[in-house]
């Protein structure tokens, strides 16, 4: 196999057939939580997602859900008009496993819609699952009938077993392991396992901000450590550079990791799941979308914290009948370029040039629980899933802190108050780039404070004048009066 000399002189990155000329970020959308959505609700959610630089929704659909037909009609109608992307995740756990013929029928029905996502250089409709490894063999037939690109979540198997299941039927994998299991911080250890097991097949990396569920009707009542998770995980995405990113989730209110709006018409699950309290009502997470345009820009530009600009060239690989794997080294990464077919195949090459970070809008985000951990009873919630993990008391995983993240063009000061009382907050962690621009974060205890939360960022100018840069307030108050006598372990998120 011979390459054009322009690869060497430009040190360009020859992308895999599965890799993206522009990497994609999706949000997992539980269609079963939207049976009462009308077209305008879908249009509104899509507009909010696009404003946050999200490329599309992963539509989680359950077998035997009578609302699927109407929901999908409205979803695709809204997405087609907005140039927004959609693809299916077949949920094999929600109600019953999916019959393979039903799966193939749905894919073929919707895959030709303008908004159905087909990754660059494959032209195949991407399809995922939530679990379902016991039905892995079905996918040989489904793939032959639909020509889909199959990237399931089979996290229950672990990376190595999922990658080889059913004679490696998966074209790539998605992981649902988005939360640390215990008091330690989140790492990319599991992501590394997937990358190694996939050996060049695409990996979809999960990002989540929280996890708390208390739905006894479905035998669910636990939490995982969410402190500092959202911003930590995005920094990991920027460093790890996966093929795709999937946010968990847009609207899973029952597990408290939603980043979309809380719609009253979508909260019926708290009744059907016999929740002791509605822990999502009046608990907005919209603030977590505030810094997404910045994080997603960093990820897509492959910069590990610095934006880049890219130019694209076309390089033609000489035809060969032999399967050869060649390593192409570039300025920023090492990837595997597969052998071409007997016909010359154009592969896109990306030339990356660094430029200084530009902060378009300085902003601040804060999140906090509204009840101190010891204010009321725990609701029998455990830290970690007791079905397969070591159990901790919830307050061993979650701290009574207000967590702050700011995107700044240069250093500034932070102030956090509860009930008008200043808590002496500071930025304890900084990841500034050229000129001091970048992410600044910190946390401050609120255990002995109650009342309204206000967060302000200010800067003192050279002339001694102090100016307000950004302010976040208006969220629910911190209180020791707990709804139903239980601590609400779901946070509120506010932003400027």
Average pLDDT by stretches of 10, the chain with 496 residues: 36 38 88 97 98 98 95 98 98 94 98 95 93 98 98 98 98 98 96 98 98 97 98 96 97 98 97 97 98 95 49 31 27 30 28 50 97 97 96 97 97 97 94 83 95 97 95 98 97 98
Task: Please spell the DSSP secondary structure of 289-302, one letter per residue.
Answer: GTTHHHHHHHHHTT
Query: By C-alpha distance, which of 219, 227, 163, 169 is closest to 387?
Result: 219
Residue 307 · residue 313 · CB < 8 Å: no
Tell me which residue has tokens 């101190």: 372
DSSP state of 216: G
Residue 13 · residue 333 · CB < 8 Å: yes
pTM for the model stands at: 0.86
Q: Give the model's pLDDT for residue 304.
A: 43
Which residues contact residue 448 at a Cβ distance below 8 angstroms, ignoring those fewer than 6 apart?
Answer: none
| 432: β partners | 438
Strands of 466-473's sheet in order across: 421-422, 413-418, 453-460, 466-473
What are phi and psi for residue 19, nearest 5 degrees?
A: -75, 160
Supply 367's token pair.
């999140």
Report the C-alpha gap between 426 and 440 in whole angstroms: 10
3-class state of residue 463 by DSSP: coil
Please say whether the dihedral angle defined by the alpha carbons of residues 160, 165, 168 and 173, taken in this order, is positive or negative.
Answer: negative
Report the C-alpha gap between 145 and 148 in whole angstroms: 8
> What ranges in 52-175 are assigned the alpha helix state H?
68-82, 100-110, 138-146, 159-168
Q: How far apart are the first and last CA of the chain?
A: 54
Q: Give the model's pLDDT for residue 303.
A: 53
Query: By C-alpha distance, which of 194, 219, 216, 217 is closest to 205?
Result: 194
């Amino acid at each position: 196999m011979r390459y054009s000399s322009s690869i060497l002189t430009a040190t360009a990155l020859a992308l895999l057939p599965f890799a993206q000329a522009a990497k994609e970020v999706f949000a997992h959308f539980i269609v079963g939580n939207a049976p009462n959505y009308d077209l305008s609700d879908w249009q509104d959610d899509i507009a909010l997602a696009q404003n946050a630089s999200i490329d599309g929704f992963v539509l989680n659909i359950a077998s035997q859900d009578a609302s699927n037909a109407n929901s999908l009609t409205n979803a695709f109608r809204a997405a087609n008009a907005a140039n927004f992307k959609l693809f299916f995740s077949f949920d094999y756990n929600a109600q019953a496993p999916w019959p393979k013929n039903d799966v193939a029928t749905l894919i073929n029905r919707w895959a030709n819609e303008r908004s159905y996502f087909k990754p660059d250089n494959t032209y195949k409709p991407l399809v995922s699952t939530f679990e379902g490894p016991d039905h892995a063999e079905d996918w040989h037939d489904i793939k032959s009938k639909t020509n889909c690109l199959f990237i399931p979540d089979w996290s229950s198997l672990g990376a190595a077993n999922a990658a080889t299941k059913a004679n490696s039927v998966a074209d790539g994998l998605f992981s649902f392991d988005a939360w640390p299991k215990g008091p330690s911080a989140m790492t990319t250890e599991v992501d590394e396992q997937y990358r190694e097991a996939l050996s060049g097949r695409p990996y979809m990396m999960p990002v989540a901000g929280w996890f708390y569920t208390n739905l006894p009707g479905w035998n669910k009542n636990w939490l995982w450590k969410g402190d500092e998770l959202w911003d930590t995980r995005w920094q990991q995405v920027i460093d790890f550079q996966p093929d795709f990113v999937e946010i968990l989730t847009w609207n899973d209110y029952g597990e408290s990791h939603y980043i979309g709006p809380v719609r009253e018409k979508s909260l019926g699950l708290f009744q059907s799941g016999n929740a002791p309290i509605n822990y999502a009502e009046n608990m907005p997470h919209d603030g977590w979308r505030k810094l997404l345009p910045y994080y997603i820009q960093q990820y897509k530009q492959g910069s590990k914290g610095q934006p880049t600009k890219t130019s694209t060239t076309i390089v033609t690989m000489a035809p060969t009948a032999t399967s050869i794997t060649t390593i192409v080294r570039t300025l920023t990464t090492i990837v595997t370029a597969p052998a071409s077919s007997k016909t010359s195949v154009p592969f896109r090459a990306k030339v990356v040039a660094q430029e200084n970070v530009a902060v378009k809008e300085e902003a601040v985000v804060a999140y906090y629980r509204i009840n101190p951990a010891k204010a009321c009873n725990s609701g029998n919630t455990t830290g970690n899933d007791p079905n397969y993990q070591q159990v901790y008391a919830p307050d061993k995983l979650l701290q009574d802190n207000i967590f702050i993240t700011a995107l700044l063009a240069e250093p500034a000061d932070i102030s956090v108050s509860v009930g008008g009382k200043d808590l002496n907050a500071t930025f304890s962690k900084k990841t500034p780039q050229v000129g001091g621009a970048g992410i600044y974060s910190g946390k401050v205890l609120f255990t002995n404070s109650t009342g309204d939360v206000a967060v302000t960022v200010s800067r003192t100018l050279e002339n001694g004048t102090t100016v307000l840069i950004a302010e976040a307030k208006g969220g629910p108050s911190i209180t020791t009066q707990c709804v139903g006598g239980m601590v609400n372990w779901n946070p509120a998120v506010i932003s400027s």
